[in-house]
Every structure is written in C-alpha cells, then in structure tokens.
Amino acid sequence: MRTQVGIIGAGPAGLLLSHLLHLQGIDSVVLESRSREQIESTIRAGVLEQGTMDLLTETGVGERMKAEGALHHGFELAFEGKRRRIDLTDLTGKAITVYAQHEVIKDLVAARVAAQGALHFGVSDVSLHDIDGTTPTIRFRHEGEAHDLQCDFIIGCDGSQGISRNSIPEALRRDYQRVYPFGWFGILAEAPPSSDELIYARHERGFALVSTRSPNVQRMYFQCDPKDNVDNWSDDRIWAELHARVDSDEGHKVVEGKIFQKNIVGMRSFVSTTMQHGRLFLAGDAAHIVPPTGAKGLNLAVSDVRILSDALRAFYKEDRSDKLESYSETALKRIWRAEHFSYWMTRMMHRLDDASPFEQQLQVAELEHVTTSRSAAISMAENYVGAVAV
C-alpha cells in the first residue's frame, strides 16, 4: 500500500487535514483505532471560533453547522452575584458558533466517505518506521491482517494518548506541562436553555459553565475533584451545586431538566516541541493540550492542519519545502498564545485551593477589569474568538 500522506487518527485534526488535502488533489489515508460509531458519539468540545466556522464553510462541510449550530455574539461572566456581558461582535467584529465536536466529526466523515477517501476504522498495533529516511512507513493491523503503508509524509493526529509523539527521539523533544488540581464535571440535560449565551461563573464554591447543544439539550460543567466519581453525584446534588454557583442576585436561575450524561475530565496544559521530525509532523492534541476554559483545543487542531495543508500544497504544487520546514515554528506561535489565554482564564475563574484571600480578591479585581475596561475586554474577546495577531 502507498499514499502521499498517511494520517493517524480520525479526530477533527486528521479528518479535516484529509479533507483539505483532497481539495488540493493530494492523496491521503486515515487510520483510526476506534469505530466510526465511537468517534461520532464521543462528547467533547462545543465552541467553534469564527475562523474555524469560515474554513468549514469555505471547504463545503459547514452546511449542517450553519443550519443547526447556534451563532453567539457574546458570553456572560458571572461573579460576585452579578452577570456582565462580553460583547464579542462589538469588541472584535466576530462571533462564535456552538456546535458539538462530534457533529463536526460526522460532517467530515460524511465528506470523506462521499469522496471515496481511504478511511480505516478499528486499526490496531500502529507503529511508525523510517520517519527520517526515504520510505516512511506506517505498520498496522486491520481486520486481522498486517499492513505496511508507505507514505511521503506521516501526520500524527492521534490525540494526547497517541503513539506518534513518542516516535520523535526524546533527545530532540522538550515537553512543557502544568497539571491542575481540579477537573470538570460535565452533564448533558434535556432542558430548555438557561440563558441565550454561555455563562462562565466564578464562585467561592468553584467554577461553573453553562453551555448549550440545541434548544432541547443543554451542556453544563462545574469544577470538581478530578478523582471524584460521577456516582457520588445524584441529579439533585448536581442541580443544587449549579444553582449555588450560577444563579444571580438579579434573579437569573439555571433551568433544570433530565440529566442523561455525566462525566469528569482532568485538566492540564501541555506543549511538546518540536512538532516535526524528518517526515513526521504532529497536529492537534498529539502535540498540545489546553484546559477547556478558553474553548481552544479543537480550534487549535484546526489551525495546525490549516498551516500543514498549505505547507503540503506548497511542497506538491510549487516544489517548495520551506513551509514544511517552518511548520512547527509557525504553528507554535498560535499554540503558545492559546496556552497563555487558557491558563489565564482558568486561573481567573477557578477556585484555587492554594490561593490566599489576597489572591482570591485579585481574581475578582481582574474580572471587574475585563468587564469594565474596553481595552481589557477587547483583549479577552480577541483571544476568545481567535482573532488575535500572532
């Protein structure tokens, strides 16, 4: 088996890269360890930056997102019993769309299948060979048989637990990491929206976030112990916690409904450099993780593959390799910007058990600042919609 670009992982990074390459007339094969049903039902992100929306629309996979996603022109910050709005469109001229990541996945899989793209689910024993030689090869098993896939390039889009990153020799890699001592308890509930826009709440009991999925399904999160167990949380206890953290003195209340999904995720910041070695390139969570507070993870994966698909186009169509050579350097500028923003927002919004009363007041002072100073609000809004210059 042979292809131009071998892609490991059918998350947003791998699927979108394969789609963008197809539009340039470049062949790829995508290898995914899970089943199609699994990748199309895993609940993860929800916020798409304007640039992500535009790219999906321009490349013909944005139709359902436009029809079913919700365009939001702002969000609310809740603290000290009050709510203050960040008007994204007034501050930046841009907006965000709330549309679930697994819906993006469904749209991208459908586009690859319609184009008869090579997409193999349920592969196992994936290993990389000769990544800095002349015949980069992916070895894997599929439907009981062993295969060798020879490629010009191998792209590791296999997420934070994938195998690609470790194929870059340790001596050439430097990892940066910060693990947070808290997690997010996430729920999906059958309920009408509690608010027209997302609410990010800072409360002394901990952070909470009110998001949405559709007019009938709502997504909410609250800060928890990452080692806690969802079985410790009855529906009544969850609603009591959300009311305590989100309801405002001005009479806004979280609207309750039937909870049909509960999960806990840990939070960390992580960057692995370099993102390339020989003929291997990493994109998305395979190279970097952000805490979900800034809603950047999926959007960063999109930004990586946008840069990479352009570099591969230049290689194949213009016989230039300079863009491939500088891929890691180019991508890392936006990655570090998003790492800083996600860290800053996480620190400002969460209960930090090691924070002194003085530092807790600083969190409130910072929230007062971003909700009263136009220039501070612009900076936050530009980062949130992904319109910041890097």
Show which residues are catalytic. 72, 200, 292, 296, 384
Determine the Cα–Cα distance for residues 133 and 234; give it in Å rounded to an integer: 56
Q: Give the β-pairing of 70-72 and 96-98.
A: antiparallel
Residues 11, 292, 309, 324: which binds ligand PHB (CB under 6 A)? 292
Is 159 a binding residue for ligand PHB by CB under 6 A? The answer is no
First-residue to last-residue Cα distance in the chain: 40
**71 Cβ contact partners less than 8 Å away, ≥ 6 residues apart:** 95, 96, 97
Residue 380's closest CA among 93, 91, 94? 91
> Closest separation between CB of residue 126 and ligand RFL, Å?
4
Residue in this structure with the two tokens 């800034």, named with its chain if needed: 294
Residue from 17, 26, 47, 307 binding ligand PHB (CB under 6 A) = 47
Q: How far is the CB of 215 from ligand RFL (least distance, A)?
A: 19
Judged by beta carbon, residue 69 or residue 159, the one nearer ligand RFL is 159
Residue number, 137 or 211, with CB nearest to ligand PHB: 211
Q: Verify binding: residue 101, ligand RFL, rule CB under 6 A.
A: yes
Q: Which is nearer to ligand PHB, 95 or 163 (CB)?
A: 95
Q: Which is nearer to ligand PHB, 269 or 293 (CB)?
A: 293
Residue span 148-187 as binding mask against ligand RFL, x where in contact by CB under 6 A, dash where not: ---------xxx-xxx--------------------x-x-
Does position 32 interact with ligand RFL (CB under 6 A)? The reply is yes
144-152, 226-234, 287-295, 327-335 -> range binding ligand PHB (CB under 6 A)? 287-295
Q: Provide the mask over 292-311, with x wherever binding to ligand RFL is found by CB under 6 A and - wherever it is not.
A: x--xxxxx-x----------
Return the residue of 7, 21, 29, 45 that touches ligand RFL, per CB under 6 A.
45
Residue 219 interface partner, choices ligand RFL, ligand PHB, none, CB cut-off 5-8 Å depending on type? ligand PHB
Instruction: Estimate the share of the chain in helix, then strand, then coil, as percent rounded to the nearest 5.
Output: 40, 30, 30
Across-strand partners of 221? 186, 209
Question: Cα(373)–Cα(190) distance, rounded to whole angstroms?
Answer: 37
Size of the chain, expressed as the number of residues it contains: 390
Decide: is 291 part of the binding site for ligand RFL (CB under 6 A): no
Within 8 A by CB and 6+ apart from 340, the residues are none
Contact between 211 and ligand PHB per CB under 6 A: yes
Question: Is residue 286 a contact partner of residue 263, using CB atoms and an 8 Å limit?
Answer: no
Residue 183 found at the interface with ligand PHB (CB under 6 A): no
Interface residue with ligand PHB, options 45, 126, 287, 305 (CB under 6 A): 45
217 interacts with ligand RFL by CB under 6 A: no
**String of DSSP letters for 148-201:** EEEEEEEEE---TT-SSGGGS-GGG-EEEEEEEEEEEEEEEEES--SSSS-EEE
Dihedral sign for Cα atoms in the order 273, 15, 152, 34: positive
Alpha helices by DSSP H, 197-326: 235-246, 297-318, 322-325
CB 52 within 8 A of CB 61: no
Size of the site for ligand RFL (CB under 6 A): 37
Q: Residue 66 or 320: which CB sits closer to ligand PHB? A: 66
Question: How far apart (Å, rounded) are the C-alpha atoms in residues 235 and 220?
Answer: 13
Is 223 a binder of ligand RFL (CB under 6 A)?
no
- Position among 202, 219, 337, 350 found at the interface with ligand PHB (CB under 6 A): 219
Q: For residue 110, is it left (φ>0), alpha (ψ between -120 and 50) or beta?
A: alpha
In the chain, the amino acid numbered 345 is: M
By the criterion CB under 6 A, which residues form the site for ligand PHB?
Answer: 45-47, 198, 209, 211, 219, 292-293, 295
By the criterion CB under 6 A, which residues form the site for ligand RFL?
Answer: 8-14, 31-34, 39, 44-47, 101, 123, 126, 157-159, 161-163, 184, 186, 265, 284-285, 292, 295-299, 301
